[in-house]
Amino acid sequence: MSNILNDVVFYSNERVSLKELTIENYVTTDNLLQNKLGKVNAEKLPSQEGKVTKFSKGDILISNIRPYLKKIWLAKYDGGSSADVLTLKVRPEFDSTFIYYSLFRDDFFDYVMNGAKGTKMPRGDKNQILEFHIPNFEKSEQKRIAKVLSDLDAKIELNNKINSELEAMAKTLYDYWFVQFDFPDKDGKPYKSSGGKMVWNEELKREIPEGWGVEELAWFINNDKSGDWGKDQVEGNYNQKAYCVRGADINGLNGKGELKTPERYILEKNLFKTLDPHDLIVEISGGSPTQSTGRLAYITEQTLERFDAPIICSNFCKAVTLKEDKYFYNFVFQWNSIYDAGILFGFEGKTSGIKNLLFESFVTSYKTVVPPIELADKFYDFMTPIQIKKEKNLKENQELASLRDWLLPMLMNGQVMVGGVEEEMGMVAEETTEYGK
């Protein structure tokens, strides 16, 4: 037995004043993340009154544009959303978190997509969406099911928070040593602040520490590895399993979302293309008007442990190997600083409307500072345990997300009972969930 969504929620189009909005509490289809990953802050606020829908903590927000992107969020605070975001308010007799997880399924978004109108930018049909069937449980059981699933997501969120703090700590040290030039001198004092000699460099048009070099980015690079796509199943000599990293997978590889790298099968003779620790992956095709090509992911031993087969990159990415591993993390931070500054927008060409990074042109013309290898080595030693901890958390997140996604339909259709899951996972059921009503 089940309920239809229309009996469980109210569709709301109540308006909110722009005065009540900030970047943090304004939601659009752009800042709702793909693959059910929640949201990030919007880039700008709306300019016109009267077109922003009010939402409250505990409401469910779903992007009505391109349902296949699977954008959904359980509101953690009050705010406002754009017109292409559906705001669903859960009726008091149901638990908000349970209803959220009832919709947190691929089959829900497949259902929405099947009823969507349009081809280039399909739009979900609100009336059809409200006919989706929701499992029927007593509210107490809804809360118990929601508790099991939300505990898994809470652990994922905690791991992500830890990783963000680790990244911030690493970025602070990088800036301190390689941007402000206050690396430890021979006496352990901050170099520049303690009067270390700085010299003017005409190529960079700025002062750099005495003894540091200046080279094109290509100076760091030893060689590149061509991409491969293979087949989606074993076919003749295409029998070597590998995971293919596309531009769309770079954020997931870096821990900025779930990793959904496709499984492919390549020729044995092409196994030389598989990636090794200290390889770097650069997105060379794609991007958008607000996001340039050139996003970077980097591979460590722990990265490879997140996969049960070798990884390769697609032909829309480029894998490169550095001449010296000790410069690995220094190069990563340098590249990301250049990317964040928007410089790579100036090194893009277009083919059939698709932006392509002019990689060779960029790395052979862009000059940067080269620190002594001894200092790069110290930074490498500092970064290694941080990266190991980050990758451990990311691997655990993959396992937790897989467990959640396996449990979700089983709990919803009654194949698995909450009590057994709680006992297996060492959980203790509570009376309420964080957003439950």
Q: Are residues 131 and 232 in the same domain?
A: no
Pair 118, 109: CB distance under 8 Å: no
Last residue of a domain, one of 136, 151, 175: 136
Q: Are residues 222 and 362 in the same domain?
A: yes
Q: Are residues 93 and 232 in the same domain?
A: no
Pair 310, 396: CB distance under 8 Å: no
Last residue of a domain, one of 101, 136, 171: 136
188 in a structural domain = no
Predicted confidence at residue 434, as pLDDT, reads 45
147 in a structural domain = no
Q: What's the chain's length in residues?
A: 437
Q: Are residues 126 and 274 in the same domain?
A: no
Instruction: For residue 386, give both structure tokens.
Output: 């941080």
CATH number at residue 343: 3.90.220.20
Q: Are residues 241 and 339 in the same domain?
A: yes
Question: What's the domain range around 220?
Answer: 213-370
Predicted confidence at residue 428, as pLDDT, reads 41
**Which single residue is written with the structure tokens 């303690």?**
194
Q: Are residues 131 and 230 in the same domain?
A: no
Q: Are residues 101 and 13 in the same domain?
A: yes
- How many CA atoms does the CB half-sphere of 190 hold within 13 Å? 11
Query: What total of structural domains would you count in the chain?
Result: 2
Q: Give pTM, 2 decimals.
A: 0.86
Predicted confidence at residue 1, as pLDDT, reads 64
320 in a structural domain = yes
402 in a structural domain = no
Other CB atoms within a 10 A radius of the CB of residue 63 amount to 28
Which strands sit side by side in the sheet containing 348-351, from one edge to the other? 285-286, 354-357, 348-351
| Cα(407)–Cα(45) distance, integer angstroms | 38
Last residue of a domain, one of 74, 102, 136: 136
174 in a structural domain = no
Q: Are residues 127 and 217 in the same domain?
A: no
Q: Which pairs from 39-45 meet CB under 8 Å and 24+ separation? A: 39/73, 43/290, 45/18, 45/21
Q: Of 193, 164, 216, 205, give the one whose Cα is nearest residue 338.
A: 216
Per-residue pLDDT of the chain (437 residues; tens, 9 = 90+): 689 999 999 999 999 999 999 999 999 999 998 888 899 899 889 888 878 999 999 999 999 999 999 999 999 999 999 999 999 999 999 999 999 999 999 999 999 999 999 888 899 999 999 999 999 999 999 999 999 999 999 999 999 999 999 999 999 999 999 999 999 999 999 999 999 999 999 999 999 999 999 999 999 999 998 889 999 999 999 999 999 999 889 988 998 877 889 999 999 999 999 999 999 999 999 877 778 999 999 999 999 999 999 999 998 999 999 999 999 999 999 999 999 999 999 999 877 678 899 999 999 999 999 999 999 999 999 999 999 999 999 999 999 999 999 999 999 988 877 876 766 666 443 433 444 44
Predicted confidence at residue 288, as pLDDT, reads 77
422 in a structural domain = no
